[in-house]
Amino acid sequence: MKRFTGTSQYIVSEELGRAVDVAVALGRPLLIKGEPGTGKTLLARDIANFFEAPFECWTVKSTTKAVDGLYQYDAVRRLHDSRFGDADVRNIEQYIELGPVGRAFTNAERVVLLIDEIDKADMEFPNDLLHELDTMSFTIAETGREVVAAKRPVVIITSNNEKELPDAFLRRCVFHWIAFPGRELMQRIVRVHHPDIEDNLLASALQAFYRLRSVDGLRKPPSTSELIDWISALRHSGMDPAKLLGSGLPFLGTLLKKEQDIELVGKQVRRGMFGKR
Amino acid sequence: MFLDFFFNLRARGLKVTTHNWLSLLEALAKGLHGDSLDGFYAVARCLLVNTEGDYDVFDQVFAETFRGVAIDAQALLNNLDDWLKNPKKLEFLDPALREALKALDMQTLRRELMDRLKRQKERHEGGSHWIGTGGTSPFGQGGAHPSGIRIGGAGGGRSALIVADERRFQNFRRDLVLDTRQIASALKRLRKLSREDGEPELDLDGTIDATARNCGDIEVVMQPPRNNSVRLLLLLDVGGSMDPHAHLVSRLFSAAHQSGDFKELRTYYFHNCIYSKVYDDASFTDGIKTTELLRTLDRRWYVIIVGDAYMHPGELMMSSSDWWDSQRGPSGLNWLAKLADRFPRAAWLNPEPPRLWPHGTIAEIREVFPMYALTLDGLDEMVKGMRRPGDPRRRARVARLASTG
C-alpha cells in the first residue's frame, strides 16, 4: 500500500500521514479536528488527489439529516406527477436521488468521501450514520433496495468542536487533531503557496506572525490561511521585509478578524511591543 | 510492556477499549508504524485517543511507560535483533516461554490478549494494580514477536518520547479551560425541540395523507417548525468572594446569550445569596421581586444558579442581604428552597473546586440544588442531570424547607 505523504500542494506532518495510513488500511473513518484554518477540508481533497481517487463532498449544515447523505426521496415531485404529470408514479425508483454517501458507495472505484463539519448538524446526527459507515451499506426504505459499497470509501470527517460527538461514534474513528504548525512546517506550507518568495521576507513575516499569535487574550488567533493571505498582501504591496519588524504590522485586517483583537494588538504596537526585539 | 501501556492509559482515565487495542494490534500487524517508535506513537495515538483533550494524558503515559525504553533503547534493540536472528541467545526467557512465543500466531495472540484482559478485570476489581510480566509476556515482549509489535530504532528527527515528554497538548485538557464556544455548545444540549409557533412549513406526511383522503386532489398541510422550547433562567452571584471568578462567569453569560437557541433567556444578579429580590445588573439598582419570578415563570423553566455558595452561615439564615433591614421574612436558604421547589429542573454551578464542597454553606446549598463544577465536564454533567427527573429525596426535603418560611 502506498503511504500517504501529501502532494506538492499540501504538506502533512508525520503524525497526520500515519493517521491517514491507519484509516485507509483499517477502512475506518478518519476524524479530523483542529483550529479553523489549519486545512482540515483541504486534506480530504489532497488525499483524493494523492490516491487519484474520485472525490465526494458532503457539507453538513445545521438542518442536515443523516438520511440526506444517503439518498433523498422527492415526495413533492411524485405528488405533483400524480396530479399533473404524465410520469408513472408507481415507479418509485425515479424519485430516489442518491446523496454523496450513496454516490460514494455505488461508485465502482474507491472514493474519498468528505463529511465536512459534522458538528454543525444535530447532536444525534453522527449516531444515525454509525451503522451505514460500519457496514458501508444502507437500505432505501421507499423501495427496499439495498445499496452496498462496491469499494469501501476512504471517509474523512471534519469537526470544529461545536458539539461533542457521541462516544460510540468516536470509538469507530481514527482520530487526529491538527496541531498548529510549528515554524519549520509553516515555512514549507507557505512555500507551497508562494513558491518564489524571498527568504528574508518569509523569515520576517513568520517571526511577526508567531509573535502576533503569542499575544495573550486574542479571541481568534490568526491561522495558516490568514498568514498566506497576509503574505500575498505584503508581496503585492512590495513591502520591505526589514520594515516588517520595525514599524508595527501592515494589513492587520487580513490577519485579525475580530475588532477587539485589532484593538488589543493596536495598543501593544503603540506601546512598542512589536517594534524592537 | 505494551499491555502495561494499555492498562496505564486506562488507569489514568482514558476510555481505551479492547476494541481500540485490537485495532492497534491490527494496525501494527500491517506494519503501519513503519518499525519505529515515532510511528508507534502516532499510530497508537490516532487509534487509542479520540479527543484532543486526552492527548496530554496520552503523552504522559507514553513517556512514563516507555521511558525505560528510551534510556536503554539501544541495548534493548540489540537484544531484540539478536533474538530475532537467534532466539537461543536470549538469556532472560525460559525455554517453555520461548517455545510458547514461537508458536503464537496473530489469532492466538488475540485469544491470549482477550484472556488476559478478562483476568485483569477480576484482579483490577480486587483493587491491586496489575503489572505486566514485562520482558517475558508475549505482549510485553511483543515488540520482538514476528507477528506482533516491533520496536525499531529511534526514528528520524525527534523521538516520540521527546515529543511525548514535551506535553504539547496540555492546553486541551478538558477539566481546565472553558471557552465561550465550548460553554455554548454544552448549553445547546439543553434544548428540547417542539412545534409551538413560528413561520409554518410544509408538512409532507400530512399533505400526502390529506391528498389521499381528498381522492388525489392536492391538499397542502402546513405546520409550525420544530424549535427549541427551553426557557432558561440564569441567576449569577457577583461581587465579594465571586470576584476571582468574574471572568469565568462572564463567559458563561455570553455563551448563554450567543447560543441564542433558547426560547427565552433571562438573567438576574444577586450577591452572596438570593433573598427577596434579584437584580437586572451587577450594580444592584433595578430588580425584580423573587416572588414575582416564582409567580410568573412556570415549572418548565430551567434554572441555573452560578455562585460559590460560600458565605457566612448567618447569611444563609438571614432574611436579607442588608444587615440593617429588620424586615422579617424567609431566610436565604428558604428562598433557595422555594426556587428549587418551583423549578424542578434547576442546578447550581460552582466555580470553586469540588473538594471544598462538603463543608459549610456549600454543603447546605447542595442539599437544595444539585451542584456541578463550572468546568466543561461539570457543565456536561449538569446537562445530563437536568434531563433526568430529580432525586425524589431531595425534592421532598426541598418541599419541606420551602414551606417552613
What's the confidence (pLDDT) of residue B260? Answer: 57
% of chain A residues with pLDDT over 90: 25
- Indicate whether B157 pLDDT > 80: no
Do the domain assignments include residue B129?
yes
Nearest to B27 by CA among A22, A15, A30: A22
**Per-residue pLDDT tens digits for A94-130:** 889 999 999 999 999 999 999 999 888 876 788 888 8
B254 and B121 share one domain: no
C-alpha cell at B166: 514535551
8 A C-beta contact, residue B113 and residue B103: no
Residue with the bigger pLDDT between B69 and B32: it is B32
The DSSP code sequence of B275-300 is -SEEESSTT--SEEEHHHHHHHS-TT
Instruction: Give the tens place of pLDDT for each residue, B74-86.
Output: 454 444 444 444 4
Query: Over 70: is that where the pLDDT of B389 sits?
Result: yes
Specify the CATH number of the domain A14-63+104-178.
Answer: 3.40.50.300
Q: Are A16 and A203 in contact (CB under 8 A)?
A: no
- Is B303 within a domain? yes
Top mean pLDDT of A107-116, B210-219, B226-235, B293-302 is at: A107-116
**Closest in B17, B189, B211 to A79, CB measured:** B211
Both B236 and B221 in one domain: the answer is no
CA distance B320 to chain A (A): 39
DSSP β-bridge partners for residue B231:
B264
pLDDT, one tens digit per residue, over A70-83 is 999 988 888 888 87
Question: What pLDDT score does B110 carry?
Answer: 52
* Residue B301 maps to a domain: yes
Give the number of domains in chain B: 3
Q: In a 10 Å sphere around its CB, with 0-12 CB exposed, 13-18 middle and 19+ buried, how is residue B153 labelled?
A: middle
**Nearest of B231, B211, B229 to residue B221 by alpha carbon:** B211
Asked whether residue B188 is domain-assigned, the answer is no
pLDDT of residue B162: 59
pLDDT band at B132 (very low <50, low <70, confident <90, very high): very low
B161 and B244 both lie in a single domain: no
Give me the phi and psi of B167, to 5 degrees please: 50, 60
Instruction: Give the residue numbers in B contacting A (CB under 8 Å), as ranges.
Output: 15, 17, 19-20, 23, 26-27, 30, 32-34, 38-39, 41-43, 45-47, 49-52, 55, 157, 168-169, 172, 181-182, 185-186, 188-189, 202, 204, 207-208, 211, 216-218, 380
Residues B73 and B43 in one domain: yes
Buried b / exposed e along B277-306 (16+ C-beta atoms within 10 A) = bbbeeeebeebeebeebeeebeeebbbbbb
Closest residue to B49, CB basis, from A75, A167, A175: A175
Tell me the pLDDT band of B390, cut-offs 50, 70 and 90.
confident
What residue spans define the domains of chain A? Answer: 14-63+104-178, 183-270
* Residue B184 within any structural domain of the chain: no
Q: Are B278 and B269 in contact (CB under 8 A)?
A: yes
Range name among A233-237, A244-248, B328-332, B333-337 with the lowest pLDDT average: A244-248
Mean pLDDT of B64-93: 51
Q: What is the pLDDT of residue B122?
A: 42
Residue B264 forms beta bridges with which residues? B231
Using CB atoms, pick whichever of B27, B157, B211 lies closest to residue A26.
B27
| pLDDT greater than 70 at residue B153 | no
Residue A22: Cβ-neighbour burial (10 angstroms; 0-12, 13-18, 19+): buried
Between A195-204, B92-101, B248-257, B296-305, the lowest mean confidence (pLDDT) is in: B92-101
Per the prediction, chain A carries an average pLDDT of 84
b vs e for B100-136, b when ≥16 Cβ sit within 10 Å of the residue's Cβ? ebeebeeeebeeebeebeeebeeeeeeeeebebeeee
Q: Which of A33, A164, A177 sits opposite B185 (nearest CB)?
A: A164
Q: Check whether residue B29 and residue B167 sit in a common domain.
A: yes
Average pLDDT over residues B192-203: 73
Mean pLDDT of B10-15: 84
> Residue A32's pLDDT band (boundaries 50, 70, 90)?
very high
Question: What distance in Å separates residue B352's CA from the closest CA in chain A?
Answer: 23
Same domain, B211 and B237: no
Query: Which pairs with CB-CB distance under 8 Å and at least 24 residues apart come from B138-143?
Result: B138/B100, B138/B101, B138/B104, B138/B109, B138/B112, B139/B2, B139/B3, B139/B109, B139/B112, B139/B113, B140/B1, B140/B2, B140/B3, B140/B4, B141/B1, B141/B93, B141/B101, B142/B2, B142/B109, B143/B1, B143/B2, B143/B80
State residue B190's pLDDT score.
73
The contacts of residue B101 (CB under 8 Å, 6+ apart) are B93, B138, B141, B145
Residues B394 and B247 in one domain: yes
Among A88-92, A96-100, B335-339, which is the least confidently predicted range? A88-92
Of A16-30, B141-155, B203-217, B316-330, where does mean pLDDT reach its minimum?
A: B141-155
The lowest-confidence range among A91-105, B162-176, B217-231 is: B162-176
Burial of A237 per CB tally in 10 Å (0-12, 13-18, 19+): exposed
Q: What is the mean pLDDT of chain B?
A: 71
Report how far residue A169's alpha carbon sits from residue A123's, in angstroms, rounded to the nearest whole number: 11
Compute the average pLDDT of residues A201-216: 84
Could you tell me whether strands B222-223 and B201-202 are parallel, antiparallel, or unpaired per DSSP bridges?
antiparallel
Distance (Å) from the alpha carbon of B108 to chain A's nearest alpha carbon = 20
Residue of chain A minimizing CA distance to B211? A79
- Do residue B9 and residue B103 come from a single domain? yes
**B78 is written with which cell numbers?**
540489540
At residue B254 the predicted structure's pLDDT band, cuts being 50, 70 and 90, is: confident
In a domain, B266, yes or no: yes
Chain B closest CA to A237's CA: distance in Å?
36
CA angle A127, A131, A136 (to 5 degrees): 130
Residues B209 and B296 in one domain: no
Rounded to 5 degrees, φ, ψ at B128 are -90, 155
Give me B187's grid cell. 448549553
Average pLDDT over residues B17-29: 87
Are the C-beta atoms of residues B248 and B240 closer than 8 Å to each other?
Answer: no
Evaluate whether residue B185 is within a structural domain. Answer: no
ipTM: 0.81
- Residue B83, pLDDT score: 42
What residues contact A234, with CB distance under 8 A and at least 6 apart?
Answer: A201, A205, A244, A250, A251
The model's confidence at residue B137, banded by pLDDT at 50, 70 and 90, is very low
Q: Which of A12-21, A86-95, B112-121 has the lowest mean pLDDT?
A: B112-121
Interface of A with B (CB under 8 A): 3, 14-15, 18-19, 21-23, 25-26, 28, 31, 33, 75-76, 79-80, 82-83, 123, 161-164, 167, 170-171, 173-177, 179
Report d(CA A277, CA A99) in Å as an integer. 55
Per-residue pLDDT at A260: 78
A-chain residue closest to B203, CA distance: A76
CATH number (domain holding residue B385)? 3.40.50
What number is the average pLDDT over the span B208-220? 84
Q: Do A25 and B188 touch (CB under 8 A)?
A: no
Same domain, residue pair B301 and B378:
yes
Same-domain status, B168 and B213: no
Domain match, B13 and B124 both: yes
Identify the domain containing residue B146 by its residue range. Answer: 2-172
The pLDDT of residue B259 is: 63
Q: How near does any CA of chain A get to the CA of B42, in Å?
A: 5
